[in-house]
Amino acid sequence: MAAAEHAARPAANTRGDAAPGRFVTPAKAHGRIGPNAITRVAEALLAEAGPAARAEIFGRAGLAAYLHEPPQEMVDEREVIALHAALRSGLPAEVLHRINRDAGARTGAYLLAHRIPRPVQVLLRHLPAPLAAGLLVAAIGRHAWTFAGTACFSARGRRPVEFTLVDCPMCRGARSGEPCCDFYTGCFEHLFRTLVHRNTQVRETSCVASGDARCHFDVRW
């Protein structure tokens, strides 16, 4: 969910505001996702499981080269899908949840440090939470092209905030007894706790991997 890809940004045709709406990502024709979906997973995997496990999983995904030279631009979403498939096949469920949630939180921290202007952050922190949430939801929708790949992203900015991904790349091809898109959960929660309300909790309430039609995230504080 990074914006290090601005130079490669396609012509915008998203739309979004604080009301319910669908954002059909311009990246749909390209199947591209920001490099944080690779680099922050590498960091979280190293912290949780160590260098040997990280090397084994990245090697299984065919992405070992990224451990020596991390991507700096948008990556093919198939690489992200392959990485998450390798994670699921090589790690216990509880470890996988922690790694993906941590990777999402690290992505949120990166966005706050490098992509969201400081004056905007100060403004959002001083606004009433519902208003700040609506503005943040609109911003996330405008940048959905950086994290959704070929998925369709939609959002509802009124409390409770809701995010939906149809054909989510993080769980594409997966089968799970419970929702497993913790990368998005961790990122959304970190951003909302920092910019909207410190008690925000984000929960994935439905997931394609669990047999649902779409991945749905509920944001409450």
- pLDDT tens, residue by residue, 186-216: 999 999 999 999 999 999 999 999 999 999 9
Query: What pLDDT is recorded for position 158?
Result: 83
In a domain, 128, yes or no: yes
**Taking the mean position of all CA atoms in its chain, how far away is CA 31?**
15
The C-alpha atoms of residue 81 and residue 59 are separated, in whole angstroms, by 14
In a domain, 161, yes or no: yes
In a domain, 1, yes or no: no
Determine contact, residues 206/216, Cβ cutoff 8 Å.
yes
> What confidence category does residue 159 fall into, taking pLDDT thresholds of 50, 70 and 90?
confident
Domain count of the chain? 1
Instruction: Tell me the CATH number at 111.
Output: 3.90.1520.10
Q: What's the chain's Rg over C-alpha atoms? A: 16
Query: What's the mean per-residue pLDDT of the chain?
Result: 89
> What confidence category does residue 15 fall into, taking pLDDT thresholds of 50, 70 and 90?
very low
The C-alpha atoms of residue 161 and residue 217 are separated, in whole angstroms, by 8
Domain carrying residue 173: 6-220
In a domain, 141, yes or no: yes
Cis peptide leading into residue 160 (ω within 30°): yes
Closest CA to 142 of 1, 7, 52, 25: 25
In a domain, 210, yes or no: yes
30: pLDDT strictly greater than 90: no
**Collapsed DSSP state (helix, strand, coil) of residue 72:** coil
The C-alpha atoms of residue 107 and residue 43 are separated, in whole angstroms, by 10
